[in-house]
Amino acid sequence: MERMFLWALFFVLFSFCVSSGKETEPPLEMEHLTSELLESARTPEFFDWLVRSRRKLHENPELSFQEFETSEFIRTELESLGVNFTWPIAKTGIVASIGSGAQPWFALRADMDALPIQEMVEWEHKSKNDGKMHACGHDVHVTMLLGAAKLLQQRRNELKGTVKLVFQPGEEGAAGAYHMLKEGALDKFQGIFGLHVAPDLPIGTIGSRAGPFMAGSGRFLATIQGSGGHAAMPHKAKDPVLAMSLAIISLQHIISRETDPLESRVITVGFVKGGQAGNVIPETVTFGGTFRSMTVEGLSYLQQRIKEVIEFQSAVHQCNATVDFMEEKSRAYPATVNDEALYSHAKKVGEHLLGGESNVRLLPMFMAAEDFSFYAQKMPAAFFMIGAKNESMKSGIQLHSPYIVLDEKVLPVGSALHAAVAISYLDGQSVRSN
């Protein structure tokens, strides 16, 4: 009996050691993969190419669906790397393919468009297009994905499937992702990963969260029609300025008095336009803004109430109102919801690449919107922020500012992270299928 017990104990211990050894193999492989990719991306030659690419893109910003030269630059770089691609998609978009062409297909995405902002940072590579600027870091996003293309192409024969590189137009309010999907450019994909620069996170860190991460967002444009007149005789006019003023105030009551304080919703009026003379009551005024929620239901409710409040307040002041939600021109964005399994995968890759859990932050939900959300509705998706802050450069200014500065040391980090997430995802799918 004693001998049988000892043999049983030996067998249990042996089985534990063997199983433990198997569990340590993937982390060791991941450690090797991430360090190798990051070292490659940080070599002087590779880094110089990334910086040149980013600066060329930064000098030539183009607005949504006008990214013709940006698209041409990307295609030229892909051709020089020997990467096949499909173009045009949604006017200027590109989907490149690296690997065998066989399933599974895993996508990496970068947006290409700039903003109608005049750059105020004086430096050698300042925007050459007046009134246009890469104030949201899309030049960095494109460069990081080109860097990933180079890393992946060097390993194309080792990929256990296919990596798709999605260079997408029109993210800044134009729903470029929706149009890419509408044209069938991302059919049959198993997953997608995206990065966005974060000027408030230090270089060498990333952050995100599972589940709802960024808000859904819609826009509205309201026109109030009254009856103009002399400012000295307001009783003979129907004042649309007064109606607009009270409508704007009432919109905030939707948030403060109709919304659960524990639920995240926002209504912001961003502009108003009225008359031009101080002694004239104008006939019409216009104003507009954005509304945001973390849920589809919340977004729908806000849209309904915005229309009702503006129309009713206008009627109280004997004016007429129309509210346009611009659903074709400026399609509402759904909330960005990260798939839990893909989020966990990217988080694990980031921990190995960046040297530990402390460099992968759990970020709070926030009310900015991203059209990456359209991809997340169609397939498992994970969207992460990547740090681009450097105190010595006085960076840290928020996105969409004419004074934003981003540390270019983020370029190799993002390139390697993209590539590592894709390669290890395909490896994992291959293991599961076997």
**Half-sphere exposure (Cβ direction) of 194: Cα atoms closer than 13 Å:** 29
345 is in an annotated binding site: no
Q: Angle of helix 410-433 relative to helix 2-41, nearest 10 degrees?
A: 140
Q: Identify whether the C-beta of residue 216 lies closer than 8 Å to the C-beta of residue 266.
A: no
134 is in an annotated binding site: no
Closest by CA to 333, choosing from 291, 381, 380, is 291
Longest Cα–Cα distance in the chain: 110
E-strand spans in 39-117? Answer: 84-89, 93-99, 105-111
196 is in an annotated binding site: yes
Take residue 169 and report the two structure tokens written for it: 């137009």
400 is in an annotated binding site: yes
Q: Angle of helix 68-81 relative to helix 44-59, nearest 10 degrees?
A: 160
Q: Tokens 């940006």: give the residue.
A: 70
- The DSSP string of 156-193 is GGG-SSEEEEEEE---SSS-HHHHHHHTTTTTT--EEE
H or E element, residue 136: none
Calpha distance 331→191 (Å, rounded): 23
Query: Can you count the helices (H) and strands (E) in the chain?
Result: 10, 16
- How do 211-214 and 336-338 pair as beta strands? antiparallel
319 is in an annotated binding site: no
Residues annotated in a binding site for Mn(2+): 136, 138, 172, 196, 400
**Binding site feature residues:** 136, 138, 172, 196, 400
